[in-house]
């Protein structure tokens, strides 16, 4: 019996406390050389794709810029397209918002990335509706929260229609007759709804993979519905084995209703890893990394975000604050719900801290710096393989904790073991598109009327 094949994505280190900038080997988070190095490492490790998050506004904390974590990152589309020029095989997947973009423009940008990379583009479609991020955009925070996924779903459908509006053989370029396009080369795309009024003729030819791969990351019921309708990959947060298996069954079980088979949607949860020559050494390193990820200031800041209070007088190595959270002014809209939610969250944290006798810092380590796989390369490889063979995931989105070297060890020490187990590719197929790498069914252009 052939083994299920593992799919891996490489997450460029982001702007939260997972990324340890204080590490002596940490490099620039913005120089192109860092991105090139990371992409080449992922390609050396035969990953399916490189994954990039998106910034729409710098993080703030209590009304001021958050200054403890890495900040500042590139425009997603521009950096991925630059990386297309220095890589050959690896997929390039970017996070791009459906609220603060327009379908025609985003589809042509992703179409451009897809053509310039010879079919290696992907789009992690995310939604947002808040006024904080909206402040940087023409329409501001214009979208009702409830409409986020309505817009996202229509956006995706409209984008797919644009990407399939060109025939594969649209360009004939017959110098003799003077016909550049064949007669029915491009279908007009009409979409009229409460949220869109588009009457478009697309201007980017069809790519070798038909259209970019679509990734989805939200975990809400609306997010799962979006995924089962539109996505090719889910970037989930379900990494605990039993939980992951349950999520896998749930999502894959919904596909039949959409006329899709199991292989057409891959589930690649976020995961972190720490290696050591022995289990003991790996545990020690994991502890060191966690302490670097959650410095005392980081822990206090984390609680301040929940408490909405200045907690700088508290000792991170001491117990949780006994002061109650500031839940805002009572006249504020939606006060009751928010008030209850904050109270509940604080109660939950107090319970957890009490049950395990945790300091502030230890609690925040539990919450934000728990590493998915810790052990020898053999252990990590066997765990990853177990998740895939036993249908808890189709693979993982690996998040390194140091820029740009965070993936080196994984590529050098874990990947060869996955290959030995017969669960991972030994080379890229020449000319493979990202759809091919992920083992997704080919994109079928809709029949023309």
Partner 1 sequence: MPDRIHLAVALDGAGWHPAAWREATARPTALTSPAYWRGLARTADGAGLLFATIEDALSLGGRSVEPDAETRRDRVRGRLDALLVASFLAPVTRRLGLVPTATTAHPEPFHLATGLQTLDHASRGRAGVRLVAGSTPQERANFGRHAEGPTGLPASGRVEDDPALLAAFREAGEVADVIRRLADSWEDDAIVRDRETGKFLDRERVHNVVFEGEFFSITGASIVPRSPQGQPLVTALAHQTIPYRFAAEHADLVFVTPADAAAVGGIRGELADAAEATRTLDEPLRVFADLLVLIEETRGEAARVWNRLQDRAALTTDARVVVGTADDVVDEIRALAEAGVDGVRLRPARLPADLDAIVDRVVPRAAAAGILIPDDGAPTLRERVGLPRLASRYARQEVGA
* 47-106 residues near partner 1, rule: CB under 8 A: 55-58, 64-75, 77-79, 81-82, 84-86, 100-102, 104-105
Exactly one of 196, 353, 366, 413 binds partner 1 (CB under 8 A); that residue is: 196
C-alpha span between 19 and 13 (Å, rounded):
6
Which stretches does DSSP call E strand in 26-90? 49-52, 60-61, 64-65
C-alpha span between 364 and 375 (Å, rounded):
22
Exactly one of 18, 95, 98, 109 binds partner 1 (CB under 8 A); that residue is: 109
Q: Which is nearer to partner 1, 104 or 428 (CB)?
A: 104
Choices 172-180, 251-259, 303-311, 321-329 (CB under 8 A): range interacting with partner 1: 172-180
Q: Which is nearer to partner 1, 207 or 423 (CB)?
A: 207
Q: Which is nearer to partner 1, 94 or 400 (CB)?
A: 94
For residues 121-140, which are near partner 1 according to CB under 8 A?
135-138, 140
Exactly one of 49, 202, 302, 424 binds partner 1 (CB under 8 A); that residue is: 202
Q: Count CB neighbours of 370 within 10 A.
A: 13
Q: Where are the alpha helices (DSSP H) in 192-311?
A: 221-230, 241-255, 279-293, 296-307
C-alpha span between 183 and 206 (Å, rounded):
16
C-alpha span between 273 and 409 (Å, rounded):
10
Exactly one of 113, 270, 399, 414 binds partner 1 (CB under 8 A); that residue is: 113
Q: Give me 152's structure tokens.
A: 């996202």
Choices 29-37, 238-246, 384-392, 423-431 (CB under 8 A): range interacting with partner 1: 29-37
Eight-state DSSP code of residue 232: S
C-alpha span between 180 and 171 (Å, rounded):
6
Q: Give me 370's structure tokens.
A: 């728990």
Q: Is 130 exposed, middle or buried (0-12, 13-18, 19+ CB in 10 A)?
A: middle
Shortest approach of partner 1 to residue 411 CB, angstroms? Answer: 21
Binding mask 393-412 for partner 1 (x = CB under 8 A): --------------------
Exactly one of 157, 200, 353, 367 binds partner 1 (CB under 8 A); that residue is: 200
C-alpha span between 434 and 118 (Å, rounded):
9
Q: Count CB neighbours of 58 within 10 A.
A: 13
Q: Which is nearer to partner 1, 57 or 386 (CB)?
A: 57
Shortest approach of partner 1 to residue 21 CB, angstroms? Answer: 6
User: Any contact of residue 445 with partner 1 (CB under 8 A)?
Assistant: no
List of residues 6+ apart from 313 with CB closer than 8 A:
none
Q: Which is nearer to partner 1, 137 or 241 (CB)?
A: 137
Cβ–Cβ < 8 Å for 386, 245: no
For residues 270-289, which are near partner 1 according to CB under 8 A?
none
Q: Give me 430's structure tokens.
A: 């020449």
Exactly one of 4, 5, 16, 198 binds partner 1 (CB under 8 A); that residue is: 198
For residues 281-340, which are near partner 1 according to CB under 8 A?
295, 297
Q: Which is nearer to partner 1, 5 or 359 (CB)?
A: 359
Q: Which is nearer to partner 1, 36 or 240 (CB)?
A: 36
Q: Which is nearer to partner 1, 75 or 246 (CB)?
A: 75
Q: Which is nearer to partner 1, 108 or 421 (CB)?
A: 108
Residue in 222, 219, 226 with CA at minimum distance from that of residue 244: 219
Shortest approach of partner 1 to residue 303 CB, angstroms? Answer: 16
Q: Which is nearer to partner 1, 69 or 304 (CB)?
A: 69
Shortest approach of partner 1 to residue 429 CB, angstroms? Answer: 19
Eight-state DSSP code of residue 79: H
Residues in binding contact with partner 1, number by CB under 8 A: 75
For residues 175-194, which are near partner 1 according to CB under 8 A?
175, 178-183, 185-186, 191
Q: Which residue is associated with the tokens 């039993």?
A: 242
C-alpha distances out from residue 433 to 208, 234, 411, 443, Å:
7, 18, 21, 11
Choices 26-34, 339-347, 380-388, 438-446 (CB under 8 A): range interacting with partner 1: 26-34
Q: Which is nearer to partner 1, 57 or 345 (CB)?
A: 57
Half-sphere exposure of 346 (CA within 13 A, CB side): 21
Cβ–Cβ < 8 Å for 152, 108: no
Cα 426 to chain centroid distance, Å, stands at: 25
Cα 99 to chain centroid distance, Å, stands at: 17
Shortest approach of partner 1 to residue 193 CB, angstroms? Answer: 10
């Amino acid at each position: 019996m052939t083994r299920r094949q593992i799919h891996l994505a490489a997450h460029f280190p982001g702007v939260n406390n997972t990324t340890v900038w204080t590490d002596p080997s940490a490099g620039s988070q913005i120089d192109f050389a860092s991105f090139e190095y990371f992409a080449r490492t992922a390609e050396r490790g035969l990953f399916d794709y490189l994954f990039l998050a998106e910034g729409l506004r710098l993080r703030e904390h209590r009304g001021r810029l958050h200054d403890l974590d890495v900040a500042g990152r590139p425009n997603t589309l521009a950096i991925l397209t630059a990386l297309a020029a220095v890589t050959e095989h690896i997929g390039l997947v970017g996070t791009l918002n459906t609220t603060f973009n327009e379908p025609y423009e985003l589809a042509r940008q992703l179409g451009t990335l897809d053509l310039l990379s010879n079919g290696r583009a992907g789009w992690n479609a995310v939604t947002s509706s808040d006024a904080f991020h909206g402040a940087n955009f023409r329409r501001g925070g214009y979208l009702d929260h409830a409409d986020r996924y309505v817009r996202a779903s229509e956006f995706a459908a409209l984008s797919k229609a644009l990407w399939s509006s060109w025939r594969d053989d649209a360009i004939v370029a017959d110098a003799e007759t003077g016909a550049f396009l064949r007669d029915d080369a491009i279908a007009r795309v009409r979409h009229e709804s409460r949220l869109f009024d588009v009457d478009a003729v697309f201007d980017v030819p069809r790519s070798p993979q038909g259209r970019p791969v679509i990734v989805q990351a939200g975990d809400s019921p609306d997010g799962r519905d979006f995924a089962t309708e539109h996505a090719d990959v889910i970037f989930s947060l379900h990494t605990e084995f039993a939980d992951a298996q349950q999520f896998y069954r749930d999502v894959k079980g919904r596909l039949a209703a959409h006329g899709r088979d199991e292989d057409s949607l891959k589930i690649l949860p976020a995961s972190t890893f720490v290696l050591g020559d022995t289990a003991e050494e790996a545990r020690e390193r994991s502890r060191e990394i966690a302490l670097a990820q959650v410095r005392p200031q980081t822990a206090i800041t984390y609680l301040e975000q929940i408490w909405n209070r200045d907690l700088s007088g508290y000792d991170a190595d001491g117990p949780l604050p006994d002061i109650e959270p500031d839940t805002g002014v009572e006249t504020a809209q939606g006060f009751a719900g928010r008030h209850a939610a904050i109270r509940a969250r604080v109660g939950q944290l107090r319970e957890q801290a009490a049950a395990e006798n945790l300091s502030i810092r230890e609690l925040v380590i539990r919450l934000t710096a728990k590493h998915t796989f810790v052990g020898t390369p053999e252990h990590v490889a066997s765990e990853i393989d177990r998740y895939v063979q036993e249908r808890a995931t189709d693979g993982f989105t690996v998040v390194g904790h140091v820029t740009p070297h965070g993936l080196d060890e994984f590529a050098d020490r874990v990947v060869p073991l996955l290959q030995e187990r017969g669960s991972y590719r030994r080379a890229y197929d020449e000319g493979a598109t990202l759809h091919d790498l992920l083992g997704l069914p080919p994109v079928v252009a809709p029949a023309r009327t």
